[in-house]
Amino acid sequence: MRIDIITLFPKSFSVFDESIISRARKNGLIDINIFDLRDYTKDKHKKVDDYNFSGGAGLLIRADVVYDAVSAIDPEHKAHRIFLTPSAPIFNQQKVQELAKFERILLLCGHYEGVDQRAIDLCFDEVVSIGKFVLTGGEIACMAVVDAVARYIDGVIAPESLKNESYANGDELEYPQFTRPREFMGLTVPEVLLSGNHAEIEKWKREQSAVMTQKVAMTGKGEEV
Ligand code: ADE
């Protein structure tokens, strides 16, 4: 999969040089390209933003700069184009799987007060928010989306891991897990996990998944819009 990211802060994407994503890049499974939005402005001071016609203190990223960047990077509109903004439907695991099917995606990170709406209307296929809160920019949201999507690219993660995790089956959450030592600070590993009885262990996992799912739903943390 090819992933193009347009941002005002290219250095923040060094996170993709670590761990699983870095390995997937080295193995040629994902091709991540970071583009600096400032490279597409015609302004001699590389200014990308301007005042907001609706008033207020913040500056907005100009439509022409975004349009020129997107047109240069994806001239034939081959990529599925996503704009990251809090004013959008909330991202979830179903969307992760949907996005992972595209051969190419392009993401634009907003910053400052946002982006001129005409750029969004003209250039983007979809808007995505990673949650009901506002970040200083779309970079962290973009990293979350790319990381989650990359896990679904063939070869990046063992297929088994994708089956046994939270949200693999609807809203069901994963059961609690334990490693050595068997006792830590007075807390012990549940006896059934040490029993070697696979049928009982499977039953325990299903039950604990249901308990976890219920617990999170009741505290409202699993709420979705
Ligand atoms: N930019 C700022 N806040 C955001 C959010 N919650 N999701 C996506 N992009 C954002």
Comparing CA positions, the residue from 85, 46, 80 lying closest to residue 62 is 46
Counting from 1 in the atom list of ligand 1, the atom nearest the Cα of 130 is: 7
Residue with tokens 């970040």: 135
Gap from CA of 186 to ligand 1 centroid (Å)? 41
Gap from CA of 174 to ligand 1 centroid (Å)? 26
DSSP secondary structure, 26-66, as one string: HTTS-EEEEEEGGGG--STT---EEE-TT-SS-EEE-HHHH
- Whether residue 194 is contained in a domain is answered as yes
Q: What gap in Å lies between CA 108 and CA 81, rounded to an integer?
A: 8
Gap from CA of 136 to ligand 1 centroid (Å)? 8
**Residue 109, φ and ψ in degrees, nearest 5:** -95, 125
pLDDT number for residue 223: 54
Same domain, 14 and 72: yes
Same domain, 68 and 105: yes
Same domain, 19 and 126: yes
Angle at 207 (CA atoms; ends 206, 209), nearest 5 degrees: 65
Tokens of 88: 């959008």
Cβ pair 21, 147 in contact under 8 A: yes
pLDDT tens sequence across 34-72? 999 999 999 999 999 999 999 988 899 999 999 999 999
Same domain, 118 and 212: no
Same domain, 186 and 98: no
- Whether residue 156 is contained in a domain is answered as no
Instruction: Give the closest residue (by CA) to ligand 1 atom 10.
Output: 85
**Domain-ending residue, one of 150, 179, 198:** 150
Q: Which of 90, 91, 113, 130 to mutate for ligand 1's pocket (most ligand atoms within 8 Å of CB)?
A: 130
Comparing CA positions, the residue from 129, 90, 87 lying closest to residue 107 is 129
Ligand 1: which residues within 6 Å by Cβ? 84-86, 110, 129-131, 133-135, 138, 141
pLDDT number for residue 88: 97
Count of domains forming the chain: 2
Counting from 1 in the atom list of ligand 1, the atom nearest the Cα of 136 is: 2
Cβ pair 193, 178 in contact under 8 A: yes
Instruction: Give the closest residue (by CA) to ligand 1 atom 9.
Output: 85
Comparing CA positions, the residue from 105, 16, 113, 103 lying closest to residue 57 is 113
Does 181 sit behind a cis peptide bond, omega within 30 degrees of 0 on the bond before it?
yes
Q: What is the CATH number of the domain that holds 211?
A: 1.10.1270.20
pLDDT number for residue 57: 82
Domain containing residue 196: 164-220
- Whether residue 37 is contained in a domain is answered as yes
**Domain-ending residue, one of 150, 175, 206:** 150
**Domain-ending residue, one of 150, 177, 192:** 150
Same domain, 94 and 190: no
Q: What is the mean pLDDT of each run of 10 residues along the chain (225 residues)?
A: 98 97 98 98 96 91 98 98 98 97 98 93 98 96 98 96 92 97 98 98 97 91 51
Quote the pTM value: 0.95
Gap from CA of 12 to ligand 1 centroid (Å)? 15
Gap from CA of 138 to ligand 1 centroid (Å)? 5
List CB contacts of 94: < 8 A, sequence separation 6 or more: none
